[in-house]
Amino acid sequence: MCAVYRPRLGHRAKAISSLQHLRVCAPFEPMALVAAALRRAPGLVSVALLLAASAGWAQELEPRAYSPNPIGANYVLLAYGRTTGDVLVDPSLPLTDVQARANSVTALYGRTFGLFGRSASIGCGVPWLWGTVEGEVFEEYRSVRRSGLGDCRLRLSLNLLGGPALAPAAFAKRRPCTTLGASLVVSVPTGQYDPAKLINLGANRWAVKSELGLSMPAGAWVFEASAGVWLFTDNPDFFGGSVREQAPLGSFQAHVGYTFRPRLWLAADATYYTGGRTTVGGQLNADYQKNSRAGLTLAVPFRRSQSVKLSWATGATTRIGGDFDTLALAWQYLWF
């Protein structure tokens, strides 16, 4: 049933408050590189750093991603993100005090339109990444730094229920109601990659994520949940000439948001992701993920067509992989 909460705002202001950014980075997958390096080059710091862009790939915290939008809107987004923390590895491996520091700047363009009578959006994001991994291997300190282009991302989303294709004037008059949406994200292997190097910025393989998301407004509150799965192609030219495979990785999100006034809102975020075990050269790695994260997102408008978004997230439970703190700041500009 549709909610009765109806904020008073113009169609342009209402549009910018509903448009969301894309996830545009690659997964953080440490254990496969650990195993490969110890077999082939035990003197290396064998921890994967596929650097995060925006708020981080594994973090997967994106409130208001399935809120309906008016059609005909264009938006650009510039985001800076910084991720720092520890990398938890198998305690049987001779790796200690492994830490990573990652930075990213992401440029994104998106547009909303009508598809089969429903509201839809498409966008493309390009990240530039730089960062450092350091730690001790056999009690010897090692440090590796990388910078360059990361894997680009494309995202198509479509409202299935509760989100008809409406022009801005008609959209401003609609009553907020429960919506169900679907999205498809494609990670394109455009990032910097050298098979002779263990740590790279690109994954050298395609990845596709399909997801369903539910958004339920209740007065000034918004309750959201989504579930999706990542599927990966093989990396045929992994470090040392091996083929690297990865099992599907499931992800689940939940958000509770509160709107203080039009375009000014705060959300509490949580995510859980599981699976993603890898195989290198036919050998199964001990890197099955069962991790969760929590965070906060604050959106603040300024001027008519601009807004900024500040997000923070931290590891809640980390079985294996990155136990990180992430801080991101994004600026968005909207026009029709």
Q: What is the domain-level CATH number for residue 267? A: 2.40.128.130
Q: What are 18-56's pLDDT values in tens digits?
A: 444 333 333 333 333 333 333 333 323 333 344 333 334
For every residue of 37-86, DSSP letters joined together read HHHH-TTS---------TT-TTT---TTTT----TT-EEEEEEEEEEEEE
Paired tokens of 224: 């959201």
For residue 4, tell me if it sits in a domain.
no
The better pLDDT of the pair 55, 122 is held by 122
pTM: 0.83
Average pLDDT, the chain: 82
Are the beta carbons of 158 and 78 closer than 8 angstroms? no
128 within some domain: yes
In a domain, 114, yes or no: yes
pLDDT of residue 34: 37
CA 173/CA 109 separation, integer angstroms:
27
Domain total for the chain?
1
**Full residue range of the structural domain in which residue 162 is found:** 11-335
- For residue 2, being part of any structural domain is answered with no
In a domain, 5, yes or no: no
Residue 6 is assigned to a structural domain of this protein: no
Residue at 34 is within a domain:
yes
Residue 70 has pLDDT above 70, yes or no: yes
Condensed to tens digits (0 to 9), the pLDDT of residues 124-135 reads: 999 999 988 888
Phi, psi of 139 (to 5 degrees): 65, 20
Contact 221, 256 (CB under 8 A): yes
> Other CB atoms closer than 10 Å to residue 138's CB: what's the count?
11
Q: Note whether residue 105 is domain-resident.
A: yes
